[in-house]
Structure 1
Amino acid sequence: MRLDRHGGHETPRRTRAGSARRVTGAALAAFLGAAVLAPAAPAAADSPLRDHAAQQGFEIGAALASDHLQNDSQYADLAGSEFNAATPENSMKWESTEPSRGQFDFGNADTFMDFAQQNDQKVRGHTLVWHSQLPSWVENGNFSQSELRSVMENHIDEVAGRYAGDIAYWDVANEIFMGDGSWRNSVFYDTLGPDFVADALRMTAEADPNAELWLNDYSIDGINAKSDAYYNLIQDLQSQGVPIDGIGLQAHLINGQVPGDLQQNIQRFADLGIEVAITELDVRIDMPADQSDLEQQAQDYRTVMDACGAVDGCVAVTVWGVSDQYSWVPDTFDGQGAPLLFDDNYQRKPAYDAVHEALGGSTGGEDPGDEDPGDEDPPPSSGPCDVSYSVANEWGSGFTGQITVTNDGGSALNGWDLEFDFPGGQQITNGWSADWSQSGSTVTASNTDWNGSLPAGESVSIGFNADHSGSSAEPDSFTLNGESCSVS
């Protein structure tokens, strides 16, 4: 028996019966309370990120630090109002929860959990088995195989068992491969070999039967040797019957360097029958950052959001922090910083607007605390619609295109078709936020179920990947429901 985390009463250890089935995907959402992720009432254009995410059955999360939640009211206010999911930044790591063998400290982890529950946030438990931020008694323990396995099992049982039923996803094993796809040396790998991953997954399934079990790492956002290693490992785990539900792509990115094959990488993992999430997104900039840097950063955030949104199995995007002032980046990458959605003074950056728009909101919303500007008439335009077209990324013979369509007519559109011609023989390979088709050079993008209503003065953004043979020249004319649009 153990005390529950509020100290009020004792609760028995939760074990997984042999006949119990794992609850994953849609069943997990139902178990945890479908209201959290079920489509919500339409959100106002300037609503917080979480309102638009909930409307689409999506999670927009942030890594949260317990000390800032307790000591910085602006931080806590934004953390609760903007995000419908949360990850503990450090408070559930081994050095924090079990600093001495068998002696557990859950003070900061409980503070985080209380905040998340008070704000109806889905929780990603982070992390149970990791080579870093280990107390010295684990890292330098010189354990036998059986002793280390017992140490690992006891730690997982205590931490995952304490929060059983309150965690949606556990990052069970974190950062287990090197950049070339080889196993990372750690006390776990060096003592137990590669089987430590399967062992940890099975142990977590016993301790918290209803949580999804995930692996998580950095620099696996694109298709490369490291992400290939995870792809092969997951197939191997599945063949052994080891419980594995998802893969987290951390996406600690450099400004202007989003992998061109991010969406394809997400798709191939989803095709294995698991879920995928962007789990630690930030985009670091060479400092000092100017406006063009911030605009590029916004474009990168939008590209990541759109890539995840284009794949049915991509369930969430989590940013690694709330405000630039508390980011880990400047202390780790000399001369780089400003990686998040809010600046040092909690003002929204262009990156915030990009994420907001990707989730279905408007751009250029007011900063927190600004007065309501009231209803204003849309600016006059030269036609019933306006189109902005841009190329976000280019690689080899491919590129990513982004289109924003504004309804400048006098009434709402209930369904829309955008049509244009590629001038250089480009061919759409896949797209998102619209149903895409192409006949010869003519491309048609039609609304999806969730964005068919386009009020007067409002915009919708869509995107695609395409191949070209020497030219990615931009279309020079567009029609919306058969009427010519102005091009900005």
Structure 2
Amino acid sequence: MNTVSLSLPTHLRHRLAERTLTVTGPDGAPLADTDVVVEQTRHEFAFGNIAFDFVPLANGETSNAGSLFGGARPQAAAQLVEPFFDLFNFATLPFYWGSFEPEEGHPQTRRLANTARWVREHGAVVKGHPLAWHTVAPKWLLGRSLEETERLLRDRITREVTDFRGLVDMWDAINEVVIMPVFTAEDNAITPLARKLGRVGIVKLAFETARAANPDVFLLLNDFNMSPKYEQLIEDCLEAGIKIDALGLQSHMHQGYWGEERTLEVLERFSRFGLPIHFTESTLLSGHLMPPEIVDLNDYQVPSWPSTPEGEERQADEIRRHYTTLVSHPAVEAITYWGMSDDGAWLGAPVGFARADGTLKPSYAALHDLVKGEWWTSATTVRTDAAGRFDLTGFRGTYRVSAVGLSGDVVLDAASSGTEAAVALRGGCAD
């Protein structure tokens, strides 16, 4: 039997699936001895980035001067739409409470709903970040009692999860809990609440409130602290019966690439919980590195932080190594990079795949060569046998089979790998 097969090195073969497919026409009869074209249309793996840049653009705004979410100028963002969605199938939108609801009772629901629809129309799954966090908390919460703060936080979580159900069904439920009860960098109303409830208590509040609003919601526990303190928090939450759908691990590498050894060590420690791992916030610089003595990345503020040719070559190499390392580990299901453009990037750091003028850096080509090259099945012609069958082996995801002006889709995933399936071709080509 003829075969379409993607060849991968041993350390990536767990990402493959295989199926024997029978191609049928509109009448249900097998298309025997027929040339068919097979091509991948979507990855199962979530290759993501933040879509903050697109909030003004999706809302038809000509300036981001008054934007509460930062990001690139709309004219710069417009240049990035095609390269963004050609590479990324997963996008994170900003739901920081203090920016989302700067005035009590006046949330930015319409703007974010418009953006979520726009992102989905471009083919990406949307995640909201975050439902609960002590940073960028509303100033109007200050001075409220702990009881009222808790009620308002529960109401906020319920409102967003309910209002965005069907648009945003994945959330970072709570962010950076390890530091939350002892945070002192800015006055906020969430830290005292976390101190009162305890770390497990505030995680429980966020997860159970969100799940009550949408039983089908997918919720992450997210943190930058890769120490045993985060491991202990996870253990304590699981022992308390909190249902965590995935663990979020941040990797803002402003002070230098972690390297393969450290990355794999982190993955081994956190994979022991048996939960999917999302690398939720990855950054690698294409300019000078932040000094190693800086403890809080937010403390490093410089008037100019340019991307450089040498830095861009380093970033491209590190992007390839970082993504290859993460994809090689079976626990990792998603990677979200924290910035498409240097224009409006967090801390002004040159982290993006595009320069501030919108031109793409070598890092974009490096990642594209992996995601849509080495890890992708491009259009390939194969001939079915006398029973209309052929074997397909490829990166897990969605594939289109086309012949004689007809087309049909099939999914390769872990659950169906090794099984047989019929692909019914219909008129025209699906989008």
Distance 1:190 1:182, change over 3 A: closer
Q: Is the 8 A contact 2:181 2:195 kept in 1?
A: no
State the partner residue of 1:218: 224
State the partner residue of 1:327: 345
User: Residue type of the partner of 1:86?
Assistant: A
State the partner residue of 1:315: 333
| Cα displacement string for residues 266-322 of structure 1 (whole angstroms, at most 9, x for unaligned residues) | 233233121111222221221544333212111221222112101222111112222
The structure 2 residue matched to 1:133, chosen from 131, 136, 155, is 136
The structure 2 residue matched to 1:199, chosen from 180, 197, 205, is 205
| Cα displacement string for residues 199-241 of structure 1 (whole angstroms, at most 9, x for unaligned residues) | 1111111112112111222353xxxx3xx22211112111121
Using the TM superposition, give the Cα deviation of residue 158 of structure 1 relative to its aligned residue in structure 2, in angstroms.
0.4
Secondary structure, counterpart of 1:153 in structure 2 = helix
Counterparts of 1:61 and 1:338, CA distance in 2: 18
The structure 1 residue matched to 2:56, chosen from 53, 57, 67, is 67
User: Residue type of the partner of 2:56?
Assistant: D
The structure 1 residue matched to 2:117, chosen from 114, 117, 122, is 114
Residues 1:303 and 2:321 are matched in the alignment: yes
Give 4+ residue runs of structure 1 displaced > 4 Å after superposition: none
Counterparts of 1:268 and 1:450, CA distance in 2: 29
Using the TM superposition, give the Cα deviation of residue 256 of structure 1 relative to its aligned residue in structure 2, in angstroms.
3.9
Residues 1:241 and 2:241 are matched in the alignment: yes
State the partner residue of 2:159: 158
Unaligned stretches of 5+ residues in structure 1: 1-39, 44-50, 331-336, 364-448, 452-488
Q: Is the 8 A contact 1:256 1:296 kept in 2?
A: no
Counterparts of 1:229 and 1:306, CA distance in 2: 27
Q: Which has the higher contact order (CA 8 A, sep 6+)?
A: 2
Count of residues in correspondence between the two structures: 301
Counterparts of 1:136 and 1:116, CA distance in 2: 30
Using the TM superposition, give the Cα deviation of residue 362 of structure 1 relative to its aligned residue in structure 2, in angstroms.
6.5
State the partner residue of 1:354: 366
Counterparts of 1:288 and 1:161, CA distance in 2: 42
Secondary structure, counterpart of 2:281 in structure 1 = strand
Q: Is the 8 A contact 1:80 1:119 kept in 2?
A: yes
Counterparts of 1:99 and 1:313, CA distance in 2: 38
Q: Is the 8 A contact 2:91 2:126 kept in 1?
A: yes
Using the TM superposition, give the Cα deviation of residue 329 of structure 1 relative to its aligned residue in structure 2, in angstroms.
2.9
State the partner residue of 2:98: 95
Q: Is the 8 A contact 1:143 1:191 kept in 2?
A: no
The structure 1 residue matched to 2:357, chosen from 317, 332, 345, is 345
Taking structure 2 as the reference length, what is the TM-score of the superposition? 0.64
Distance 1:99 1:244, change over 3 A: same
Identical aligned pairs, as a percentage?
Answer: 24
Q: Is the 8 A contact 1:263 1:310 kept in 2?
A: no
Using the TM superposition, give the Cα deviation of residue 192 of structure 1 relative to its aligned residue in structure 2, in angstroms.
2.9
Kindly report the root-mean-square deviation, in angstroms, between the aligned alpha carbons of the 2 structures: 2.8
User: Residue type of the partner of 2:161?
Assistant: A
Counterparts of 2:347 and 2:90, CA distance in 1: 22
Secondary structure, counterpart of 2:103 in structure 1 = coil
Unaligned stretches of 5+ residues in structure 2: 1-36, 61-73, 185-190, 289-304, 376-392, 396-431
Taking structure 1 as the reference length, what is the TM-score of the superposition? 0.57
Counterparts of 2:256 and 2:317, CA distance in 1: 8
Secondary structure, counterpart of 2:132 in structure 1 = strand
Using the TM superposition, give the Cα deviation of residue 183 of structure 1 relative to its aligned residue in structure 2, in angstroms.
4.7
State the partner residue of 2:145: 143
